[in-house]
Amino acid sequence: MKEEAEIKRICDEVIERIRPDDAERARVKAVTTRIINMINQKALELGIEAHAVSVGSTARNTWVHGETDIDIFIMFPEDVPEEDLKDNGLALAKSISDRYEERYASHPYIHAYFYDSEGRTEYEADLVPCFAVKDASALKSAVDRTPFHNGYIMERIHGLEDDVLLLKLFMMCLDIYGSELRRKGFSGYLCELLILNYSSFVELLLNASRWRYGERIDLEGKGKYKGEDPLIVIDPVDRNRNVAAAVSDYSFCRFIDAAREFLAQPQMSFFLPRVADPMSAEEFVKRVKRRGTEFVMVLFEAPEVVEDILFPQLRKAELSITDMIERDGFKVYGSDVAVEGGKAFLLFELLLWSLPRLKKHTGPPVTSKYHSEQFKDIYASTHPIFIDDGRYAVEVERRYTDVVSLLKNELMSCSLGKDVSESIGRGCEVLRNEEIRFVAGIGYFFRCYFRGI
């Protein structure tokens, strides 16, 4: 078939572009080995019982050219107290790093920067303390299973590395690669398991084009996971865990749609990042006028916490504020959250954003004698009472007739999350349509908002 030949041609061309060459592999291996040796030597000097191992895509030869992520796990005996693991693990990582940041997952780790031996190329590396548990069923922290993941993939991935690279780039260009909570997409480990299950990138696409909600993949046939997710991929080293639990409905459906489109009309564009010009404030205002909707933005300083802590709070705030807006009779058409240029914002597009002062308040059924008497006791002396469809009703005045005034006065009553609430409490702006300030990055955000898939 013509499409099959074109798919093969495109995949072959892409692989030549994204497969790390021997020189890059050698540089990465040398840097990784040097980091491991430094950690092991420092542990010996300090009398700390620990050793370092390489895990992740660079250990498994499944990284895309130019997208190097070096992951070094510092393994401690499982009987070491957790506080000692944290303290000694961070001390070891910091002692060998000239430049680093302390970050947090299930416990703190170090994100450090290292140059190659020639001092030309800088590499980023995560240095993560963990327990060297003997079995993945006896985890002491969430990261303890990663070395087991590494062993499982390394034993089986040989000969399929190119297919993993194709899948990763395909998902990167769809903006659904990565399990972090900002994106809720497909992790590298999940990509590797999908390729292992279907044996090739193209075979995965053929199957994914027919996926249904709740698609279940179990390489070992021993899964016990009972949750309901769009995609369920049983972790072969932990049968109670879904590796795809982070994959959102959107990411799941976006991949299915792209698989169908690529198979029907294979094009190189599926493996090229979509670069869009940022939308200008003037273009945004024109677009809003054509749509006839109202945009309201809550803009505030982004809390200084890692994204995997911040974004769940932003999404929580988005849902809570949407509920409040609609409880008051307004109608939300769409919403989103983002962090750009040091600012965080919550965006709401509204179909109904202004209401008359008058509002009907419906009471109990007339046939409910006890509740009817209570309702009339409250309202009879101050409001005319009507009977509407078998229930008592009164006319009352709305407290807020537009969304902006509602948000300015009631925002802090919503469930916002600790860090978001504190930041908004220190000050925020509630902006509508042409008032929205195009701080750094917002132009790109709006371009994507209106663009669709």
Among 421, 180, 411, smallest CA distance to 296 is for 411
The type of residue at 181 is: L
Whether 203 and 259 have beta carbons less than 8 Å apart is answered as no
The rounded percent of the chain whose pLDDT value lies above 70 is 100
Tell me the mean pLDDT in the region 208-223: 96
What's residue 152's pLDDT? 96
Superfamily of domain 20-141: Beta Polymerase, domain 2 (3.30.460.10)
Please say whether the beta carbons of 55 and 147 come within 8 A. Answer: yes
In whole angstroms, what is the distance from residue 119 CA to residue 278 CA? Answer: 35
Q: Do domains 20-141 and 358-397 have the same CATH topology?
A: no
Mean pLDDT, to the nearest integer, of 92-102? 92
- Segment 45-85, tens digit of pLDDT: 999 999 999 999 999 999 999 899 899 999 999 999 989 99
pLDDT value at position 439? Answer: 87
pLDDT of residue 1: 61
Residues 6+ apart with CB under 8 A from 372: 363, 364, 365, 366, 392
Instruction: Give me the chain's average pLDDT, please.
Output: 94
Instruction: Say if domain 281-355+400-451 classifies as CATH 3.30.70.590.
Output: yes
What CATH number has the domain spanning 157-271?
1.10.1410.30
Radius of gyration of the chain (CA): 27
pLDDT value for 228: 92
Name which residue leads in pLDDT, 305 or 18.
18
Query: From CA 353, how far away is CA 418, in angstroms rounded?
Result: 28
Q: Is the Cβ–Cβ distance between 299 and 429 less than 8 Å?
A: yes
At 70, the amino acid letter reads: I
Residue in 156, 150, 105 with CA at minimum distance from that of residue 126: 105
CB-CB contact of 301 with 423 (8 Å): yes
Using the predicted structure, report yes or no on whether residue 125 has a pLDDT greater than 80.
yes
| pLDDT, position 254 | 97
pLDDT at 275 over 90: no
The tens digit of pLDDT for each residue in 276-309 reads: 789 999 999 999 999 999 999 999 999 998 888 8
Mean pLDDT of 145-173: 96
Instruction: Report yes or no: 234 and 218 within 8 Å, Cβ to Cβ.
Output: yes
What's the predicted TM-score (pTM) here? 0.90
- Does pLDDT of 188 surpass 80? yes
Higher local confidence (pLDDT), 359 or 193: 193
Nearest Cα to 232, choosing from 201, 182, 197, 199? 197
Among residues 256, 227, 257, 259, which one has the least CA distance to residue 244? 227
pLDDT digits (tens, 9 = 90+) for 341-390: 899 999 999 999 999 999 999 999 999 999 999 999 999 999 999 999 99
What pLDDT is stored for residue 452 in this prediction? 87
Q: Quick one: pLDDT at residue 155?
A: 96
CB–CB of 63/69 below 8 Å?
yes
- Predicted confidence at residue 98, as pLDDT, reads 85
Dist CA 7 CA 2 (whole Å):
9
Extents of the domains making up the chain: 20-141, 157-271, 281-355+400-451, 358-397
What pLDDT is recorded for position 103?
A: 84
Q: What is the mean pLDDT of residues 172-176?
A: 96
Q: How confident is the model at residue 221 (pLDDT cuts 50, 70, 90)?
A: very high
| CATH number, span 358-397 | 3.30.70
Closest CA to 66 of 165, 174, 152, 135: 165
- Which candidate, 36, 52, 50, places its Cα nearest to that of 147? 52
